[in-house]
Amino acid sequence: MKKKAVFLDRDGTINRDVGYPRSFHSIEVFSYSFEAVRKLNEAGLLTVIVTNQSGIGRGLIQEKALRDIHQRLEASFAQHHAHFDGIYYCPHYLFSPDPEYRDDCQCRKPNPGMALKAVKDLNIDTKKSYMVGDKVEDILFGLNIQARPILCLTGFGQESLPKLKEKGVELAYVAKTLLDAVDWILQEEKNDSPDQT
């Protein structure tokens, strides 16, 4: 049976967006993110990070350093009894000086490539899943994979909201924070439960 997932953007959603962090010391996780991810874990929803990391293609950070950041991020969440079921990233940049990363790829959000890989790896039903992010491309990514798109007003969320309205994009929910988004998701799941009378 296919599983439900909550796809999460990283920078601006889970942690403060500081541009192109080169080490874990540059990452400031929002304090409520630990509780938010733990709640998703406890509810049995897969929790999957999907993050554009063109800093690799731009030569600002090495891929090894990004993997180290993610390992430390996972360790940090583990200390709060929370975990991610998958972390996917796009390292590409169309004008990269390194041909390995010079690619007009299908994995950079809003393209669906990262989700397609997660679907294969984790047996996800995207139509019963959610996407939470702060940027326009996060929301369009959610729509492209037929997940329910939730805009977080942290990060670039305040700037993204009018742009999405201008495009006529219908959002499932506008959340103040990731924790607010998760609480809404869990209420939706409860409402959709066949046990509800």
Catalytic machinery residues: 9, 11
What single-letter amino acid sits at 28? E
What DSSP string runs through 101-169?
T----SSSTTSSHHHHHHHHHHTB-GGG-EEEESSHHHHHHHHHTTPEEEEESTTTHHHHHHHHHHHTP
Whole-number Å distance between alpha carbons of 76 and 39: 16
What is the number of other CB atoms lying within 10 angstroms of the CB of residue 179? 19
Quick one: tokens of 4?
A: 């439900």
Whole-number Å distance between alpha carbons of 114 and 121: 11
What DSSP string runs through 79-113?
TTT---SEEEEE---TT-SSTTT----SSSTTSSH
Whole-number Å distance between alpha carbons of 13 and 174: 13
Quick one: tokens of 38?
A: 């733990």
